[in-house]
Structure 1
Amino acid sequence: MRSSVVAEDKNLKEQISHGNYAFPVDVHSEFFQSEGIGAPSYFVCHWHPETELMIVLDGSMRYQVNETIHDMKKGEGLFINSNCLHMGTAVSGQASTMPRH
């Protein structure tokens, strides 16, 4: 399994800012693959002060937010509150998400 790159400090806080203080919003997509080489299969546990809306665009993903696990498929989304520990893993085949911080 290969992890996507999430720069974090020793307290698991993500070191990349999303947007700015006045408008903490960033829209981008991520691609994950459960098998093979190339795309990462998961992203590591981390947190950040921004809230996050994650939408699965294709495939299926398993997200853990704090101690709760969410199995999600194409078209489903998840709101992650600020300062919550979270991580995600591609469940089968290829999956893509659109995180919005």
Structure 2
Amino acid sequence: MSRIQPFALPFFALSVMASTDRGSPSIYTIYGQVLDERGSRVNGADVLVESALDRRQTMSGGDGSFMTEICVTGLCDEILVQALFGKMQGTERISVIGGHIAVDIRIKELKI
């Protein structure tokens, strides 16, 4: 009867843990609009989109819209979307639930 070597069990456990992660990396499209406190669209806002695996930066267009793709590890990952324009800033945290992700960011003046 063969006996399993002591080092084989930890290796097997690590292999199982590695193969049961939340999935392989996926690319998601994030899009939306940057709006000020009055609901007006903001042209030229810097938009930063971050996940655990990726970080992208873009700028809102003439109609306040933005779009970028970002790599995530799988469903339920958190994505941080920030918009900055002059002294105004806004932040949204969203979870990956599948498909394309739409988010509108409201920015307001920072109080110092």
Fold similarity call, TM over 0.5: no
Whichever structure has more helix as a proportion of its residues is: 2
TM-score relative to the length of structure 1: 0.29
The structure whose RCO (Cα within 8 Å, separation 6+) is larger is 1
